[in-house]
Structure 1
Amino acid sequence: MKILILEDEIPAYQKLTTYLNNFFEDEVAHDWARSILEGKKLLTKHSYSFILSDIQLLDGISFDLFDDVSIDIPIIFCSAHDEYLFKAFNSNGIAYILKPYSKADFNKAIEKYQSLFKKGDYGNLNTNIISELKTALKEENTVYKKRFVIKKSKGIQLLNVIDITHIEASGDFCIAIDSAGKRHTISQSLSSIFQQLNPVKFFKINRSEIVNIDFIQNIESHFKNRLLLTVKGCKEKPMTSSSTTAEFRKWLEQ
């Protein structure tokens, strides 16, 4: 067995090799590249059992390397990027661990590789998957709102976006409901707020309501192709409009 490690940071490379040797209880043969150029040279000359790859290399992102060189072996990405980037990694030949990863995280990823290898159940990293990964990375690098400044009678409070379960329009402003069921007034329109939120987490289910996927507890069918949602902290059940239901279903499966 021989593997390829694509990692530009020396300490991270050393950590990977330590975990690798510990897992297999022996020194594992490997090549190491810190750039796309070096990685391309190695991949065109040698064969590997699998690849351990960071996303950001010295001269660009590893996705560009895999776009140029056909890859027919499993890849385990070792990255500091947020987990939602890896929604495209549901294909058979890919696993990932998030930095700063532990030995347990590493072992779990290697075990996934072994399972797929034994079954012969992994596919090539095709251009469609690479395109998805690049799109997801671009979305992740977009800066979304992290908190709202809420003016209250007793002063100013901060409302973290991750705590918002539901937002509803109310005239010229909006009401944001947090996980504890508390209501907060935001002096912006619903459309303006929605443009500031991460579309992976938030969906505008109708003309006057936005929901956070992390707090949806139940979904039930309703009349005229609509869905009733049970959302944590909300007394009333928000409802999708007939025109948004199909797109909402797709969004749920991302």
Structure 2
Amino acid sequence: MKIMNILILEDEIPAQQKLEKYLLEYFEDEIYYDWARSISEGKKLLSENKYDFILSDIQLLDGISFDLFDEITINCPIIFCSAHDDYLFKAFNTNGIAYILKPYSKADFNKAIEKYQSLFNQGNYNKLNSDTISNLKSALQEENTSYKKRFVIKKTKGIQLLNVTDISLIEASGDFCIATDSSGKRHTISQTLGNIFQQLNPAKFFKINRSEIINIDFINNIESHFKNRLLITLQGVKEKPMTSTSITSEFRKWLEQ
């Protein structure tokens, strides 16, 4: 069996370790890989080596990987592993033949690798060109300027940061809100629900009633309830939030976007 040569572009050490683990489990050690955390490190490795494919985050220590791919011609597929919204990747038909949204699972990873193998064996992918990279940069800039990325949370021991991508549910509680993350931890946000909702990406977050906002990425199950309402099971949330009767129809349409 051919030894796979793979490049990992990832600035976060835990994410790199997860990718390494999944790679070794999938290919059963029949791989060799390099790891770079920055554009400068990646540039050096790409100038000295040839790779079967690249696993790439978008944000690296010294910039975005799109700048690297704009500078160096890439002749292999790229699988993007990123916390950015999936609408970003609709900006191009890619030889980055798959993308995995963080926090990704082993099943997500395996699915992306299987897609790579299928398309590669058929020769059915295109090189990443300058027009594609330009479109990606424009989409990324729009995403960065449009929606909230994180909230500053005041705790008794100091200040913590809560990434929007980790939030499963937001509930109104007087003049502030409680955000529950995917692991079940609760965080107080000193803003009203309406103010928070205006800052969130409407492709990801939906206000299902007067007091609750949910994140589509953490919906585990939806079941019918009385009076045309829906009960929603969310990752990390014990109680099932419920759509209001007047919102259910709009919510169903939103799910199918």
TM-score, structure 2 normalization:
0.59
Assess, with a 3 A threshold, how the Cα gap between structure 1 residues 212 and 11 changes in structure 2: closer, same or farther.
Answer: same
* Aligned with residue 141 of structure 1, among 137, 140, 144: 144
Letter in 2 for 1:7: E
Whole-Å separation in 1 of the counterparts to 2:21 and 2:60:
20
Counterpart of 1:28 in structure 2 is 31
Whole-Å separation in 1 of the counterparts to 2:127 and 2:96:
7
**Paired residues, number:** 170
Aligned-residue RMSD, C-alpha: 3.0
Structure 1 segment 102-117 matched on structure 2, within 5 A: 102-117=105-120
Give yes or no for contact 2:92–2:135 (8 Å, CA) kept in 1.
no
Give yes or no for contact 2:80–2:96 (8 Å, CA) kept in 1.
no
Counterpart of 2:8 in structure 1 is 5
Structure 1 segment 144-159 matched on structure 2, within 5 A: 144=147, 158=193
Give yes or no for contact 1:93–1:116 (8 Å, CA) kept in 2.
no
Tell me how far 1:94 sits from its aligned partner.
2.5
Tell me how far 1:215 sits from its aligned partner.
3.7
Whole-Å separation in 1 of the counterparts to 2:108 and 2:255:
28
Structure 2 residue 122 is matched with structure 1 residue 119: yes
Tell me how far 1:45 sits from its aligned partner.
1.1
Tell me how far 1:181 sits from its aligned partner.
3.0
Counterpart of 1:75 in structure 2 is 78
Structure 1 segment 124-203 matched on structure 2, within 5 A: 124-144=127-147, 158=193, 160=197, 162-163=205-206, 180-181=245-246
Deviations 1:125-174 (A, max 9, x none): 00011011111111111234899x9xxxxxxx955565479xxxxxxxxx
**Structure 2 unaligned regions, length at least 5:** 149-163, 165-169, 173-191, 209-242
* Aligned with residue 66 of structure 1, among 58, 66, 69: 69
Whole-Å separation in 1 of the counterparts to 2:26 and 2:91:
27
Letter in 2 for 1:36: I
More moved, 8-17 vs 91-100: 91-100
TM-score, structure 1 normalization:
0.59
Tell me how far 1:179 sits from its aligned partner.
7.7
Give yes or no for contact 2:37–2:61 (8 Å, CA) kept in 1.
yes
* Aligned with residue 86 of structure 1, among 64, 89, 94: 89
Counterpart of 2:218 in structure 1 is none
Assess, with a 3 A threshold, how the Cα gap between structure 1 residues 50 and 129 changes in structure 2: closer, same or farther.
Answer: same
**Structure 1 unaligned regions, length at least 5:** 150-156, 166-177, 183-210, 218-251
Letter in 2 for 1:134: K
Q: What's the secondary structure of 1:32's corresponding residue? A: strand
Letter in 2 for 1:143: S
Whole-Å separation in 2 of the counterparts to 1:82 and 1:103:
19
Give yes or no for contact 2:10–2:36 (8 Å, CA) kept in 1.
yes
Assess, with a 3 A threshold, how the Cα gap between structure 1 residues 216 and 48 changes in structure 2: closer, same or farther.
Answer: closer
